[in-house]
Amino acid sequence: MNQVLRKGARKGSQTTMTNVETNDTAASVAAPGATVAPEKTASKKGASRKKGTPKAKKSVKAAAPKNEAKASKKATKPTAPRTESKGARILEMIGRAKGATLSELMTVSGWQAHSVRGFISTARKKHRVKIESSKNATGDRVYQVAE
């Protein structure tokens, strides 16, 4: 007897086959009564990485021809914001001789104080504008373009 006996199985009892065993081509070709191991199927998941092992390096793609527009974009002068935008109105008001207070900038743009201050901070970097801030006699913050 070449069949594997299961727990509680009797020697004379007949074993039932699962769907995998009935559809197995190697089992149908083999001689009756011979034990044949089922073929391994391909794994659906990729191999998993163990903890602590470094990630695999990404493969390098073929170098695409460089676009001249992208290269020249970095070397160009900073551009001014659109003429009708809130940012342009803020920069215009700051450019006046006496500058503009924070409350004036808030009413023109419709932004909150922290948004106006954030825009001024990025305008310094992005538009390369030197902006000075000071307090006037009433204690309001005044922003001016430094010359």
Provide the CATH number for the domain formed by 86-145 in this structure: 1.10.10.10
Q: Is the separation of the CB atoms in 93 and 104 below 8 Å?
A: yes
pLDDT tens-digit readout, 67-114: 655 555 555 566 666 778 898 899 889 988 889 999 999 999 999 999
42-59 per-position pLDDT tens digit:
767 777 777 887 777 777
pTM of the model: 0.44
- With contact defined as beta carbons under 8 Å apart, do 108 and 86 qualify? yes
Chain mean position to CA 125 = 25
Task: Give the tens place of pLDDT for each residue, 119-135.
Answer: 999 988 887 888 888 89
Instruction: Kindly list the domain boundaries of the chain, sorted by start residue.
Output: 86-145
DSSP 108-124: HH---HHHHHHHHHHHH
For residue 46, give the 3-state DSSP assignment.
Answer: coil
